[in-house]
């Protein structure tokens, strides 16, 4: 039966090496983070509008063109 052995240093060594690697990272500036976040939001809005428009277009094509479903008429008021 094989037994697993832990590397020397364990969790303390892992934390030290992780901290050492994090210090090597080139972090973005605040302005870069804000600009890139806004870019992601704008692209997300554009893509969602594109999907919404084409979904509605295909819905109309299928309902009226293929299935011949008429427009919904409002129900008469209850008296």
pLDDT, tens digit, 9 for 90 and up, residues 19-68: 999 999 999 999 999 999 999 999 999 999 999 999 999 998 888 877 77
pTM assigned to the model? 0.58
Distance CA 29, CA 33 (A): 6
What CA–CA distances, in Å, run from 67 to 60, 62, 71? Answer: 10, 6, 12
Pair 69, 63: CB distance under 8 Å: yes
- Distance (Å, whole) CA 74 – CA 4: 72
Buried b (16+ CB within 10 A) or exposed e, 43-56: eeeeeeeeeeeeee
């Amino acid at each position: 039966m094989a037994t697993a052995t832990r590397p020397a240093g364990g969790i303390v060594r892992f934390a030290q090496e992780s901290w050492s690697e994090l210090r090597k990272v080139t972090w973005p500036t605040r302005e870069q983070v804000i600009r890139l976040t806004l870019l992601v939001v704008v692209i997300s809005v554009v893509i969602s509008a594109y999907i919404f428009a084409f979904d509605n277009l295909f819905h109309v094509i299928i309902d009226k063109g293929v299935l011949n479903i008429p427009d919904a008429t409002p129900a008469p008021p209850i008296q």
